[in-house]
Amino acid sequence: MKKVLARVVAFSAIAVLAWSQPVLSQQATDALAPEAATGQQAKTSVRARQSIVVAANPLAAEAGLAVLRDGGSAADALVVVQTVLGLVEPQSSGIGGGAFLVWYDAGTGKVTTIDGRETAPMAATPELFIGDNGKPMEFFDAVVGGRSVGTPGVVRLMENIHDLHGTKEWSALFEPAARMAETGFTVSPRLAALVDEDAPLLSAQTSTRAYFFDASGTPLQQGAVLRNPTYAATLRTIGAEGADAFYEGPIAEEIVAAVQGHPDNPGKLSLEDLANYEAKERDAVCASYRGVDVCGMGPPSSGALAIGQILGILSEFDLAGLGPEDPQGWRLIGDATRLAFADRGRYVADGDFVDIPKGLLNPDYLKSRAALLKRPDALPAEAAKAGDPPWDKAELRLDGVSLEVPSTSHFVIVDAEGNLASMTSSIENGFGARLMTGGFLLNNQLTDFSFVPQQNSEAVANRVEPGKRPRSSMSPTIVLREGKPIFALGSPGGSNIIPYVAQALIGLIDWNMNISQAFAMPHFSNRFGRYDLEAGTAAAEMADDLEALGYEVRTTDLNSGLHGVAFLPDGTLEGGADPRREGVAVGD
C-alpha cells in the first residue's frame, strides 16, 4: 500500500502556484508540447486575483481572457471561447453541436442552467437506428452521415446567456475566432494525431477530406497552418444577424442539404427543426455532500443526478480515513458508481418526455443503497441493479444502454464581478457525423439515444422520439459552501465523465487535494461491473487488490479532460487543467 500511495502522490505532485502573466505564451507553448498529454505529472496550477479561463486549447483560453481584460463578462468570454474551440479543436465541440451550461450569478447568488442539447428531428421515429434487417445498426454505420445529426443547440445557448449577462456587442464576440480562421492557426499535436487516427472515415467524406487532408491525401500534420475562411464567414453572419441567422436562411439550408443529401446515410433534420429550436433554462440539480452543495445539470443530462447519487451513497462512509491508496475506498466508489449507473440506465432520459422518479436523491433512498455496500467485497452483479426510489408518478421503464463515445470539451470562466460559467460542449464522437458545412462539423448526438427502443412492447426511457433530447453524461458542475462557489469543474469522456468528475470531487473534498492534484489523479472507473484502471498509473498497480475483492479488471487508457477552478479562502482563484490533454488555465 505504501508503494501505491507513493505513486499516487508522485503522479499528483504538488503544483507550484504562480501568478499568471498578462500573456502566458510560454504556458501555451508548454501545453501544446507532445509530452503535455502524457498524464504522468500534474500541470502547474495558475493563480489569479479576479478573472480566469480554463479551456482545452491555449488559443481559446487566451482569447477568452482577452475579453475579460477588456471589461467583458463571463458570458461574453463564453461566446469567444466556444467559437475559437470550434476552430482549433473541431473534433470535440463547435457550433454544429450542443452544450450544457451551469451559471452562477454573483449578484443574486443563484445557480441556473441552460440546456443547449440537440433535439431529434420531428420526422424521427423510435426505429431510427434499426437497420433494414430489423436489428440495431452498428455504431459507426449510424454515426457517419446525416442520420445521426440532431438540431444543434450551441448557438442558441450562447445567445441566451449573452442576452442575460453579456456586456459586449454580440457581433464583436465572433471576431477573434473569425480573424483566427482567416489568418490560420497552428495545428496542435492532438488535432494532428486524431485526424491521422480517424483518416479512413474523414477521407471518405468529401467535405472533411477537403479540409483535413492536402491535395495528395496526406492528413494534417502537427505544426501546419490551417485556415478556414468559410467558418470566418459563417461566424460573421451570425455576429451581424444574430442566432436566427444560424437557424434560418442560407446557413440552415446548407445544414439541411448536407444532412438530407448524404448519399449513403441521409438524415431527417429539416428547416422546421432548426427554426423551432429552443435552448431551455432549467433549475440546477443540487446534492449535499460533506457540508457543501454540488450543483449541476439535470435531465436530459444524467450527470448531476448520477454524481449526486454517488456522493450521497459515499457520504455514509469515511473516505477521508481510507484515503486514495486503500482498495476498500475504491471498492466503495466503484460500487456506488455502479448503483448510480443502474438507476441512470432505467430511469433517466429527457424529462420533457419521460417522468423521472423524484426521489433519486432522496436521503433515505440513498442510505438504503449505501447499506448494500456495507460488506467486505465487491457487490454481486445481481445486487447492482436499479433500485426503487420514491416515485411521485414516475414511469417504470426498461433498462436501456446507449453508447457514448468520448469526445467533448469543458471550460470554466470567472469574470471580475465573480460570475461563473461551467460549460460542457460536444459534437459527441470525435469529428461528429464527419459532415462539414459552413466551415464547421455537424454533431452525431442522436446516437446517444438507445438504439433499441423497446423490449416486449415496453419502452426504453432513452429511446428516440420526435423533438426529444438524447440522454447525456456531460456534467458541468459548481460546488458551493454557504451559497458561495468553492469549485467549478467538468470533463469530456463519454459516460466516463460521471466517474471522472465524481472522483475529482472526492479528491478535492475528502482528500484535500488542490485542483491540479485532483485532475492528475489516476482514474478508476466502474460503471457496469468491470473495473477500468488507467494504464501506466497507480490505478493499474491496484489491479490485483481489486481482483481479490471480486472485480473483473481491465487496464486501459482513460483520457479525461478535466478543467476547473478553485475559489481559495484568501479570495484568489486557482485554475487547473488535466495533464492528459492540451488544456491550460490563464488569468489575471
Which helix (H) or strand (E) element contains residue 555? strand 553-556
- Compute the distance between CA of residue 142 and CA of residue 131 in angstroms, rounded to an integer: 9
Residue 546 class from Cβ within 10 Å (0-12 exposed, 13-18 middle, 19+ buried)?
A: buried
| DSSP-derived secondary structure for 84-152 | HHHHHSTTT--TTSEEEEEEEETTTTEEEEEEE--B--TT--TTTTB-TTSSBPPHHHHHSSSTTPPBP
The 3-state secondary structure of 415-441 reads CCCCCEEEEEEECCCCCCCCCEECCEE
Can you state the angle between helices 229-241 and 74-88, rounded to 10 degrees? 150
From the candidates 83, 119, 408, 437, give the one annotated as an active-site residue. Answer: 408
CA distance 379 to 541: 21
Does 117 appear as a known binding residue? yes
Q: 289: part of which helix (H) or strand (E)?
A: strand 285-289
Asked whether the beta carbons of 99 and 93 are under 8 A apart, the reply is yes
Distance CA 372, CA 335 (A): 9
- 113 has catalytic annotation: no
User: What is the DSSP annotation of 370-406?
Assistant: HHTT-SSSPPPGGGSS------SSPPP-B-------S
**264 annotated ligand-binding residue:** no
* 490: its cell numbers: 467538468
The enclosing H or E element of 18 equals strand 18-19
Of all helices (H) and strands (E), which one includes residue 486? strand 484-490
CA 394 from centre of chain? 27
Q: Where are the alpha helices (DSSP H) in 483-551?
A: 497-509, 515-520, 538-541, 543-548
Residue 472 labeled ligand binder? yes
**Does 318 count as an annotated binding residue?**
no
Peptide bond into 263 cis (omega under 30): no
Q: Is 266 exposed, middle or buried (0-12, 13-18, 19+ CB in 10 A)?
A: middle
Cβ atoms of residues 124 and 446 within 8 Å? yes
The answer to whether the annotation marks 448 as part of a ligand binding site is yes
Return d(Cα 428, Cα 391) in angstroms, integer.
Answer: 31
Burial annotation 227-262 (CB, 10 A radius, 16+ → b, else e)? ebebbbbbbbbbbeeebebbbeeebbeebbebbeeb
List the one residue out of 417, 566, 426 whose CA is nearest residue 493.
Answer: 426
Task: Tell me the binding residues.
Answer: 117, 448, 472-473, 494
Task: Tell me the binding residues for L-glutamate.
Answer: 117, 448, 472-473, 494
- Which residues are catalytic, by number? 408
